[in-house]
Structure 1
Amino acid sequence: MSTEIYDDGPVVHQPTFIDGTSVEIPELRILDQDGVTYPNADLPDIDQALATKIYHSLAFHRVLDERMVASQRQGRLSFYMTALGEEATSVGGAAGLKPQDMIMMQYREQGALIYRGFDLKDLMNQLFSNAGDLGKGRQMPIHYGSKALNCMTVSSPLATQIPQATGYAYGQKLQGVDAVTICYFGEGAASEGDFHAGLNMAAVQEAPVIFFCRNNGYAISTPSDEQFKGNGIASRGVGYGIKTIRIDGNDILAVLKATQIARAYAIKENKPVLIEAMSYRLGAHSTSDDPSGYRTKEEEAKWQSHDPILRMKNWLINQKWWDEARETALFEKYREEVLAAVKVAEKIDKPHIDTMITDVYDVPSAQLQAQLDEVKAHVNKYPEAYPFTAGKF
């Protein structure tokens, strides 16, 4: 086995260990919380039109999360996951891409879909698993996807999208297309084996994929310092030989700048990039979680002042591109639209039971048809347990 690849490092003749925390990784920050750019900061490619679109996406995202949590608490929705305090990571990342780029999400990146124009009706249909759902009601809420918008459908198992993103990006490379794949995941997902397999494969095969880690401090109830040692997730990118950057994930301009540069590099060099965005999950992990059991109100209050939406709002006002009157009107408009969409979506029928066995084979097999017949017989036998479907077969 050749060892030539290691011969460019220094040679010593006494045991020399590298300290496990010795890698120093700077954090890119362009905006302070007052919306003022730091001196000599390298701004992203952004104009008023793009800035306005980004802010509208952030505002809609915040309103959607607020309304959907309220709907779940009212018993109208079974489950929901917010991105409160982390909206800049998904929206800013999507804004730094091109429409032809593939987005592979975890389950807190609805902001990427919103930025790309995913219709409110489609969002609601998925959340309520009704007949209008693009996924035909087969998934739990917040598992969005859109072929038209190049957004791969979310799947529940943690980190499976990471090696999938590497494979998809490698396919883009072989086809010679002007496109990359971005893969979102949390720092908790980086504890899965799929993370290591995906990054190593991308590095070795030189796939044009952007790994975007939202380091929000918690893997459900487990804080980062109980998940891993070492210098966060960025140090792992260095270990795999991947170009890596750490950014302030609550700074929309830093997110946009890093993603724009990462995409340009991935396209030009056909190589992967790792972005670690430092943020904080202000909300609960999901509507099934109570964060008071593992963190303090004081800790949450500290991070309230780092709100990414407020930071961008301040910057827009400083640019003379925004004002309080437009702010109030925008949020009121979105609240009305989301509430109206909820009222419509929750009344739409569920997908027909026959769709359970479609999209697997061109023609459903005899075995699948027999299983479907058994399900229909069961539903008709116990109609009180299936009020949405009883008597329809």
Structure 2
Amino acid sequence: MAANKKLNPVDVLSEIEAKFEMLQVLNEKGEIVNKDMDPKLSDEELVELMTRMVWTRVLDERSTALNRQGRLGFYAPTAGQEASQIASHYALSEGDYVLPGYRDVPQLIWHGLPLTKAFLFSRGHYKGNQFPEGVNALSPQIIIGAQYVQNAGVALGIKKRGKENVAITYTGDGGTSQGDFYEGINFAGAYNAPAIFVIQNNNYAISTPRELQSKAATLAQKAVSAGIPGVVVDGMDPLAVYKVTKDARDRAVAGEGPTLIETMCYRYGPHTMAGDDPTRYRTSDEDSDWEKKDPIVRFRTYLEGKKLWSKEKEEEVIEQAKADVKAALKEADATEKQTVTGLMDLMYDVKPSNLKEQYEYYKGKESK
């Protein structure tokens, strides 16, 4: 009898990595290159998706400017990630739950969060975390990767209640280096929870290049360790992102468990507006190469070819977005200011002795 062939772990790894090829439907020229993956959205759906992406780009431009003017607080730019964010959200249903990271405010807004609330969240106002009834979402998570564990729990709750919905969460490539990432996907897999985990691989965890974070050829292949499906998709391609997210949702509501999705994308701006300077760790050539893959540009070309989009239509969306931002900012400015004593009143029913002294001190300052 022939001796059993020795299993080479290097070969096994190579076989696994080879299965994680990046999926694409719409190339950089706005051409369909994979008809089998085309989600075949209706004309109305295509226009709506483009509208949301353009509106979100304007929101990012205005939010960046407002931050520089001191009129917003914490802000993480989103330009370049519209396909990854908006197309994945577009594949969801209203009853699904969204657990965002701090860069994922656009998904919250399209899930029903008033823009005024988003501005108040940026300013650190407690009302920014008071979501209207029916908005199935948690506040943006600041702790890197913590939303992955929360997503697994929310998804399990959905399953136990017999709901045909999913819980979706997002993190960046840096988030996959956190223990919460592994714990979240493992828990969801073990309990076959209806969860979708999105890795928005924008190449840098603040300033740390992707290749220095993990030896894995892809981040999606980490799904193998949890026994769940993983997929890599062109995160600048709205049709491909929509398709893989819709497939993941269909699997989840059918009782087939969670999916890990890695979207290959790029953020044009800094990690956040809090002092990060991307020119210190990224080259102008790299920026230029990614700008050629812009999700809005390629989707615009595709829709114009189908006679569904025009310069006039885009200008209407831009002006509407500017008007929406102006109105929401006015409402946020009119909201009563948050005070230190007000925050203490919300936090404590019975104040500890050390805070009682501080309370009286701030009360005196606020009364002047």
TM-score by length of 2: 0.91
Distance 1:124 1:153 in 2: 13
Alignment of 1:230 onto 2:216: yes
Alpha carbons of structure 1 residues 291 and 162: separation in structure 2 relative to 1, 3 Å: same
Output the aligned Cα RMSD: 2.2
Structure 2 SS opposite 1:152: coil
Which amino acid letter does the alignment assign opposite residue 367 of structure 2? G
Identity %: 31
Query: What is the CA–CA distance in structure 2 between the aligned matches of 1:366 and 1:329, rounded to whole Å?
Result: 53
What's the CA shift for 1:196? 0.9
Return the alpha-carbon distance in structure 2 between the equivalents of residues 39 and 212 of structure 1: 22
| Higher alpha-carbon deviation: 271-280 or 76-85 | 76-85
Rounded Cα–Cα distance in structure 1 between residues aligned with 2:132 and 2:201: 25
Partner of 1:366: 350
Residues 1:325 and 1:156: Cα distance change in structure 2 (over 3 Å)? same
> Which runs of 5 or more structure 2 residues have no equivalent in the other structure?
none
* Alpha-carbon shift at residue 115 of structure 1 (Å): 2.2
For 1:13-32, what aligned pairs fall within 5 Å after superposition?
13-14=5-6, 16-19=8-11, 20-22=13-15, 23-24=17-18, 25-32=20-27
- Map of 1:378 onto structure 2: 361
Contact 1:72 1:80 in 2 (8 A): yes
**Inter-CA distance 340–315: structure 2 relative to 1 (3 Å threshold):** same
| 1:243/1:273 contact within 8 Å kept | yes
Q: Alignment partner for residue 28 of structure 2, among 29, 33, 55? A: 33
Q: Counterparts of 1:293-304 in structure 2 under 5 Å?
A: 293-304=280-291
The C-alpha deviation readout for 1:312-343, integer Å capped at 9, x for no partner, is: 22222122211111112221232243234334
Residue in 2 aligned with 1:322? Answer: 309
Is 1:306 matched with 2:293?
yes
Deviation string for 1:240-270 (max 9, x for gaps)?
2111211101100001111111011111134
Q: Deviations over 1:265-314 (max 9, x none)?
A: 11113411111111112111011210011111111111111111122222
1:168, distance to aligned residue in structure 2 (A): 1.2
Give the letter for the 1:89 counterpart.
Answer: S
Cα offset for 1:359? 5.9
The question of whether the paired residues in 1 share the 8 Å contact of 2:100 and 2:108 is answered with: no
Distance 2:251 2:346 in 1: 38
- Greater Cα shift, 107-116 or 90-99: 107-116
Letter of the 2:137 partner, please give it.
C
Question: Which residue, out of 147, 151, 172, partners 1:165?
Answer: 151
Structure 1 gap ranges (5+): 1-10, 137-144, 384-389
Deviation, structure 1 residue 357: 4.3
What amino acid is aligned across from residue 235 of structure 1 in structure 2? Q
Contact 1:247 1:276 in 2 (8 A): yes
AA in 1 matched with 2:253: I
Q: Would you say the 8 A contact 1:36–1:318 is kept in 2?
A: no
Q: Distance in 2 between matches of 1:302 and 1:147?
A: 43
Distance change (3 Å), C-alpha of 1:135 and 1:40 = closer
Counterpart residue number, 1:94? 89
Answer yes or no: is the 8 Å Cα contact 2:155–2:193 preserved in 1: yes
Per the normalisation by structure 1, the TM-score is 0.85
Is the contact made by 2:196 and 2:258 (CA closer than 8 Å) also made in structure 1?
Answer: yes
Q: Which residue of 2 aligns with 1:135?
A: 129
Bigger share in helix: 2
What is the SS of the residue equivalent to 1:211?
strand
- Report the Cα distance in structure 1 between the residues aligned to 2:138 and 2:115, rounded to whole angstroms: 18
| Partners of 2:317 and 2:7 in 1: CA distance | 63
Correspondence 1:243 to 2:235: no
**What is the CA-CA distance between 1:128 and the residue it aligns to?**
3.2
CA contact (8 A) 2:105 2:118 kept: no
1:274 to 260, 266, 275: 260
Classify 1:322/1:293 alpha carbon distance in 2 versus 1 (closer, same or farther; 3 Å).
same
CA distance in 1, matches of 2:346, 2:167: 25
- 8 Å CA contact 2:344–2:359 kept in 1: the answer is no
C-alpha contact (below 8 Å) 2:25/2:35 kept by paired residues: no
Distance 1:72 1:206, change over 3 A: same
> 1:179 is matched with which residue: 165, 168, 192?
165
Instruction: Report if aligned partners of 1:212, 1:274 keep a CA contact under 8 Å in 2.
Output: yes
Distance 1:238 1:328 in 2: 45
Q: Quick one: distance in 2 between partners of 1:45 and 1:15?
A: 43
User: 310, 335, 344: which one pairs with 2:322?
Assistant: 335
1:190 touches 1:233 (CA, 8 Å); kept in 2?
A: yes
